[in-house]
Amino acid sequence: MRSSTSRPRARGEAPERPTTITGGATGQVLVRGELSVETPQGVRAETRVVLCGCGRSRLRPYCDHTGPCGQ
């Protein structure tokens, strides 16, 4: 299942350089760049993600907006 906060690398989409990591106001971690994200289903290549900062997401490491960091 793909989170709405994660997008597959679009064909021809260049990742941002340098990679940026920004803390969201509610605790989310916003990351853009050339990324390899370890998930329970395996490693995924991404160009941008919103990661859970509170540990309550059912889609960890991605934020599913159900915990306090997604409010």
Report whether pLDDT(12) > 70.
no
| Residues pairing with 20 in the sheet | 32
Rounded CA separation 42/26 (Å): 27
pLDDT tens digits for range 14-37: 777 889 999 988 889 999 999 998
- Which pTM value belongs to this model? 0.69
β strands within the chain, DSSP E: 20-23, 29-39, 42-51
* 3-class DSSP state of 11: coil
Which pLDDT score is estimated for 50?
92
Rounded CA separation 46/9 (Å): 6
